[in-house]
Amino acid sequence: MITTITTTTHWTDVFKTSAGAIYQCDAERCWYVDFAGKVAKFDYRCLLKLRKAVYHIDIEQTLLNTTKDPDVEIIFICACDHCYVLSLLQIIALKELLEGTFVMLELNHILHERLCSIAS
C-alpha cells in the first residue's frame, strides 16, 4: 500500500546521510524514514523494531558466504506496513543511518537532562 502524504507538517531533521534521512514529526508523533526510494512513516516502537531487524543481519557472514545465494535481505517488521528488500550495501547504509539517528536522540536526551539540572 502506497500512501501519499498530503498534509503539510513540520518535519525536523534527526540525521542525514547521502543514502537517506530520518525526520521527526512532533505534530503526528511519528518518524519518517527516507531511504531506498521511499518515505515510510514509523511510530517509535516500529522504528526500534527496524533498528533491531537491521542490527541482527550478520553482514560479515553474508560477505564470507561462498554459496551462490543472492546478497539480498528482506526486512519485514511485524505490526508495520513497510517492507524493505535491500542489497548488502543498502543494509550497511541503513545501519549507518539508524546508528546516527539513535546517537542524535541520545545526545538530545543528555543535553536536555543537563540543561534541566542546571535550571533547577
Structural domain spans, the chain: 12-119
pTM for the predicted model, two decimal places: 0.85
CA distances from 107 to 33, 41, 112 (A): 20, 23, 9
Residue 28 · residue 9 · CB < 8 Å: yes
How confident is the model over 7-17, as pLDDT tens digits? 667 999 999 99
pLDDT tens-digit series, residues 19-73: 999 999 999 999 999 999 999 999 999 999 999 999 999 999 888 888 887 889 9
Residue (of 11, 101, 8) closest to 50 by Cα position: 101
Q: Which residues lie closer than 8 Å to 77 by C-beta, 6 or more apart? A: 46, 49, 50, 53, 83
Give the C-alpha distances (Å, rounded to integers) separating 109 from 13, 84, 85.
Answer: 16, 29, 32
